[in-house]
Chain A
Amino acid sequence: DAGITQSPRHKVTETGTPVTLRCHQTENHRYMYWYRQDPGHGLRLIHYSYGVKDTDKGEVSDGYSVSRSKTEDFLLTLESATSSQTSVYFCAIKGGSGRSLGANVLTFGAGSRLTVL
């Protein structure tokens, strides 16, 4: 009921292959974010978007690209996956969902676990 879904939830791929993760929202919020989470590092911002076709880099953007061609979808692409990109990836939208918690609250997806062999 959070209005945000990530796909795929689990993926195993090989080094050098391209991978795209999708974040889909039904809330029509302007801001969307991609984070990665690794043991000992907490959440680290990869890229974010503040509107259709408007994106900016985060803390750890090298090796990743994003696209936002419509409000509801924010895609994260690994052009050539490496083992160091094995991680759990979380998408977030800024703005409450359903029973709104406030316009500046982040709501997170369930995560996408990516393993690069």
Chain B
Amino acid sequence: DAKTTQPTSMDCAEGRAANLPCNHSTISGNEYVYWYRQIHSQGPQYIIHGLKNNETNEMASLIITEDRKSSTLILPHATLRDTAVYYCIVRVEGKTSYDKVIFGPGTSLSVIP
């Protein structure tokens, strides 16, 4: 699976949009981009994923560049409860036996009142 690079930490004002970048310049054509977040001491939680089209759900939007080498997770109106570590991972989907899912250190997002 391709490696990802994320900023170590970010701040965002409450009520504003939080834009979390992820670089995955070595992504291959069959690898999806997944985002998870982990609120303090809890297990990580799935947010959203996509292949090449932009995606939106009730939690966030995912914008993937045309060359797929980077993506941005957008939380449209950040609240204090969005303070968490956000992980971007890329992985192949399919019926393979070997499916290691590796997480990097992620981005620690602090939403400021």
* Complex interface residues of chain A between 12 and 55 (CB less than 8 A to chain B): 31, 33, 35, 40-45, 48, 50-51, 54
**CB atoms of B87 and A56 under 8 A apart:** no
CB distance from A57 to the nearest CB of B (A): 9
A84 CB within 8 Å of chain B:
no
**CB atoms of B43 and A59 under 8 A apart:** no
Which residue of chain B lies nearest to A41 when distances are taken between CB atoms in the complex? B105
* Majority SS at the chain B contact face: loop
Contacts of B104 in A (CB 8 A): 42
CB distance from A117 to the nearest CB of B (A): 21
Contacts of B45 in A (CB 8 A): 108
Interface size on A, residues (CB 8 A): 31
Q: With A105-B49, A106-B36 in contact, do A43 and B44 touch (Cβ < 8 Å)? A: yes
Q: Which of A59, A101, A106 has the most CB of B within 10 A?
A: A106
CB distance from A36 to the nearest CB of B (A): 11
The CA of A7 and the CA of B89, in the complex, are separated in Å by: 27
Q: List 26 A-B contacts (CB under 8 A).
A: A31-B99, A35-B103, A40-B105, A41-B105, A42-B85, A42-B87, A42-B103, A42-B104, A43-B38, A43-B44, A48-B101, A50-B99, A51-B97, A88-B41, A90-B43, A92-B43, A101-B46, A104-B32, A104-B91, A104-B93, A105-B46, A106-B36, A106-B44, A108-B45, A111-B41, A111-B42
Chain A residues in the interface with B (C-beta under 8 A)? 31, 33, 35, 40-45, 48, 50-51, 54, 56, 58-59, 88, 90, 92, 94, 101-111
Chain B residues in the interface with A (C-beta under 8 A)? 32, 34, 36, 38, 41-46, 49, 85, 87, 91, 93, 97-106
